[in-house]
Every structure is written in C-alpha cells, then in structure tokens.
C-alpha cells in the first residue's frame, strides 16, 4: 500500500511539474516571430531529416543573393519546439512565409527546389 501511495505521489508531482513548465512555453515563442520591416521565410525541420538538409542548402544558396530583401531562418524541432506548436507544423520540412508585417501569408509542406522557392518568393512579391 505504501508503494502505491509513493508511486501516486511521485506521478502526481511529475505531472504538476510538467504542467508548470509547459504553460510558459507558448508565450516564450511569441517573441520569436519575424522582425517587422521585411518578409521572412522560416524553414521548419530537423537536423536528422534528409529533405530538411536539402532545404538548408537551398536557403544557404539564396541568403547571399536575397538576404537583403527576405529574412531566411532555419527552425529545428530539437531547438525550438514551441515555434512548431505556435505555427501548427505537422510535417517537415515546412516553409512558412511571412509578409513584412509578420503575418503568415503562405505555407508549403515538403522540400522546395531552389527554382521553385525563387518562383514562390516572386509570386508573393518578396523579391524583385
């Protein structure tokens, strides 16, 4: 009986501790929205994901050419999970496109080749 009581108390403390830590996470993510002033592309992925690594290369190629017009950011699940919850990311890689005011204007699931990402940026009028 003492064992069950001790197990119950331990489990209760674990659940309460989890809930106390979980509550502030979404509010911490609120400050992680893109800076206002220029559009942004957040690429959500994971470091172990092969298509995500391909997207990382595409983003690295586009940053030097378009970085002055668009903010590019890689968001990894093991580092910034609250952002995954905030933007309701269910599959990786996923690209979220923000306008200059920080509002989500489009989202794409899956890897995008460089040419298609450039086409999407032009469609959204993020680049010239």
pLDDT one-digit tens code per residue, 50-70: 999 999 999 999 999 999 999
Average pLDDT, the chain: 82
Catalytic residues: 49, 52
Rounded Cα–Cα distance for residues 96 and 108 (Å): 7
pTM for this entry:
0.73
Answer yes or no: CATH 3.20.20.220 is held by domain 31-123.
no
pLDDT at 25: 43
Q: If you count them, how many residues does the chain have?
A: 128
Rounded Cα–Cα distance for residues 50 and 54 (Å): 6
Confidence of residue 34 (pLDDT cuts 50, 70, 90): confident
The structural domains of the chain, with segments of one domain joined by +, span 31-123
Confidence of residue 6 (pLDDT cuts 50, 70, 90): low
């Amino acid at each position: 009986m003492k064992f069950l009581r001790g197990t119950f108390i331990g489990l209760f403390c674990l659940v309460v501790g989890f809930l106390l830590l979980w509550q502030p996470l979404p509010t911490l993510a609120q400050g992680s929205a893109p800076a206002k002033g220029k559009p942004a592309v957040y690429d959500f992925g994971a470091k172990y994901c092969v298509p995500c690594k391909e997207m990382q290369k595409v983003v690295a190629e586009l940053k030097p050419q378009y970085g002055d017009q668009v903010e590019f950011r890689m968001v990894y699940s093991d580092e910034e999970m609250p952002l995954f919850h905030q933007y309701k990311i269910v599959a990786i890689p996923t690209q979220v496109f923000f306008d200059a005011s920080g509002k989500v204007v489009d989202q794409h699931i899956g890897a995008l080749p460089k040419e298609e990402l450039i086409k999407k940026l032009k469609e959204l009028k993020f680049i010239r």
